[in-house]
């Protein structure tokens, strides 16, 4: 059994979920979200991060396809707070460092 969580990004201005994705845990989701929308890219999330919240919507078993819904969804964090905390970590290499450095494999230095 492979348990995952379904996370949703809620837009406070239009009052609806604008992105839904499953991840192994919140740290996996945060890493993906930050690298996808904030690492040198202009996006609606990077332009207005305080407008968005991340919610835990449901559990998901990727082998059986069973979704266990949590109601109401639980707030995990605000995108603005998450990105500030994630980008302030000096040990996190950027995607450009990973792409161009022959000495980094999956973010780790290789001898």
DSSP tag of 50: G
pLDDT of residue 87: 64
CA 56 to CA 106: how far, in whole Å? 27
CA 28 to CA 91: how far, in whole Å? 16
Give Cα 100 to chain centroid, integer Å.
23
Q: Residue 106 pLDDT more than 60?
A: no
Mean pLDDT across 11-23: 96
pLDDT of residue 79: 93
CA 65 to CA 3: how far, in whole Å? 10
Q: Residue 97 pLDDT more than 90?
A: no
């Amino acid at each position: 059994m492979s348990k995952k969580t379904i996370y949703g990004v809620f837009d406070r201005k239009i009052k609806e979920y604008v992105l839904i994705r499953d991840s192994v845990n919140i740290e996996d989701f945060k890493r993906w979200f930050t690298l996808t929308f904030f690492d040198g890219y202009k996006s609606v999330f990077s332009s207005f991060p305080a407008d968005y919240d991340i919610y835990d919507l449901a559990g998901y078993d990727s082998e059986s396809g069973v979704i266990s819904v949590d109601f109401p969804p639980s707030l995990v964090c605000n995108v603005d707070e998450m990105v500030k905390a994630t980008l302030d970590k000096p040990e996190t290499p950027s995607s450009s460092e990973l792409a161009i450095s022959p000495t980094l494999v999956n973010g780790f230095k290789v001898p």
